[in-house]
Structure 1
Amino acid sequence: MRKPPFFSKTHCFGIYSSILSEAINLFKFHGIKRLSRPLGRFLLEFNISGIEAIVPVPLSPEGLRRRGFNQSLLLAKAVSDNKNIPLIMDGLLKKTETRPQVGLPAKERARNLKGAFVAAKQFTGKRIMLVDDVMTTGATANECSRQLLKAGASEVVVLTLARAAVL
């Protein structure tokens, strides 16, 4: 890799297609929050030993107002509750509203998110699990991981429900 990502590895439950993509869309875009528990259970299949804190990918204040909830936070809470790992809800903030990532090519996705996130806490020496719903190019996970490492995290591992089939 010419430019390796800031996260050390990723775990994802499945490919973003078929029934999984339909469930994620109902959860995320149609506000069916009760799907957070069953979808969150999918994330419990991974060995995440050694993780010291869970941090969800944040929404911007405007994005949170629009959606009414942070889907990544609900998934992260399901993992935190089950694995008894501290959930740090306000450890990472999305300080600026960005254009939607859907439809943007990989380089533009990275450019769109540059500087959008900031760590609001110090994570000195901690192994962090960053939780999101879907990973496409990894631009969001990479920018969030960069900020967590900048705030002292020793490692960032990414956990998502789904991964895009084709980049």
Structure 2
Amino acid sequence: MEEGARHAVHALKYGGLPRIADDLAAAMTGTRPPSDGPSALVPIPLAPKRLRERGYNQSDMLARALARQWRIPVLADLLVRMRETPTQTTLTPETRLANVAGAFTAGTAARWATLVLVDDVFTTGATLAEAARALEAAGARRLYGVTFARAAIPDFT
């Protein structure tokens, strides 16, 4: 991830600046909705404790900003984080997968829907993949993912 993107994501997540989500979404202007017309955007949910600490969900803020551009709804309550998970930032790719395994569940409103998952950063894809599994189990027809940034996978060797 480039330094400017790193600072922007840090400001959104930890700097108490949810208003910059509109700027980040505007920077994603090359991102277009899938051609098969998604039903809605679904932000990756935070665990309740982290949401209370931060006061907002950065993925929800990004999803709402993208929704204004794409003119489709946000289903913020469709996907639920069932348990607290440690932050992924210091985990290896293998432990990231285990960390989020079974962390999400989805409501039946996902049935037959084409949905776009929204998160701030893609590192290994573990979070998006696990969220997609939950939505697929709830009957989603087609799933996509979009993130503001892609991080380099850390080398833990």
TM-score by length of 1: 0.86
Residue by residue over 1:36-73, the C-alpha shift from the partner in whole angstroms, topping out at 9 and shown as x without a partner, is: 11011123422213111110000011110011100000
Q: Distance in 1 between matches of 2:108 and 2:68?
A: 21
* Corresponding residue number in structure 1 for 2:50: 63
Worse-matched range after superposition: 17-26 or 43-52: 43-52
Where structure 1 has 5 or more consecutive residues not aligned to the other structure, the ranges are: 1-15
> 5 Å matches for 1:37-116?
37-48=22-33, 49=35, 50-116=37-103
State the identity as a percent.
38
The match for 1:135 is: 122
Q: Does 1:31 align with 2:16?
A: yes
Question: For structure 2, which runs of at least 5 residues remain unmatched after alignment?
Answer: none
**How far off is 1:122 after superposition?**
2.8
State whether residues 120 and 148 of structure 2, in contact with CA within 8 Å, keep that contact through their aligned partners in structure 1: yes
After TM superposition, what 4+ stretches of structure 1 lie above 6 angstroms from structure 2?
Answer: none
Q: Shift in Å at residue 84 of structure 1?
A: 1.2
What is the CA-CA distance between 1:121 and the residue it aligns to?
Answer: 3.5
| Preserved contact between residue 92 and residue 121 of structure 1 (Cα < 8 Å) | no
Q: Which amino acid aligns with 2:32?
A: N
Equivalent position to 2:107, from 120, 144, 150: 120
Q: 1:17: Cα distance to partner?
A: 2.1
Counterpart-to-counterpart distance in 1, 2:43 and 2:21? 13
Q: Which has the higher contact order (CA 8 A, sep 6+)?
A: 1
Q: How many residues align?
A: 152
1:44, 1:52 → 2: CA distance? 19
Separation in 1 of the partners of 2:108 and 2:8? 33
The worse-fitting range, judged by mean Cα deviation, of 112-121 and 131-140 is 112-121
Which amino acid is 2:127 matched to? T
Q: 2:32–2:70: 8 Å Cα contact kept in structure 1?
A: no
Secondary structure at the counterpart of residue 108 of structure 2: coil
Deviation of 1:99 (Å)? 1.0
